[in-house]
Amino acid sequence: SAVISQKPSRDICQRGTSLTIQCQVDSQVTMMFWYRQQPGQSLTLIATANQGSEATYESGFVIDKFPISRPNLTFSTLTVSNMSPEDSSIYLCSALTEGGTEAFFGQGTRLTVV
């Protein structure tokens, strides 16, 4: 298993600004990825964070809006850039351990853009 620490847990931001969310795992993991959970909806995969290379984005998400870093096997960041109220959501960091079949999740970041 893996314990994932995510911060901040919540934030209220002005439109047009950017917020960087940090995700730290207590052990080395093979895969890290980011989900968005909009109010009353399911989790939508944003991208897979790749160590040492550009993230792999899902349809509808682009690097300019959601730049992602993963400098090592235990840490990743997601930036929400040039925010608008439509970006208000919960952002969840997730990871898969080597040989593991189930994903582990951080506590989430509840973002409100005003």
Partner 1 sequence: AQSVTQLDSQVPVFEEAPVELRCNYSSSVSVYLFWYVQYPNQGLQLLLKYLSGSTLVKGINGFEAEFNKSQTSFHLRKPSVHISDTAEYFCAVSERSGGSYIPTFGRGTSLIVHP
Cβ at position 101, least distance to partner 1 in Å: 5
Among 100, 112, 113, 114, binds partner 1 (CB under 8 A): 100
Tell me the residue type at 101: T
Cβ at position 18, least distance to partner 1 in Å: 23
Q: Are 86 and 75 in contact (CB under 8 A)?
A: no
Using the rule CB under 8 A, is 33 a contact of partner 1?
Answer: yes
Segment near partner 1 (CB under 8 A), from 12-20, 38-46, 61-69, 76-84? 38-46
Using the rule CB under 8 A, is 48 a contact of partner 1?
Answer: yes
Question: Which residues touch 53 (CB under 8 Å, ≥6 apart)?
Answer: none
Alpha-carbon distances, residue 62 vs 2, 37, 66, 79, 100 (angstroms): 28, 17, 6, 11, 28
Q: Which residues bind partner 1 (CB under 8 A)?
A: 4, 6, 31, 33, 41-43, 45, 48, 92, 96, 100-108, 110
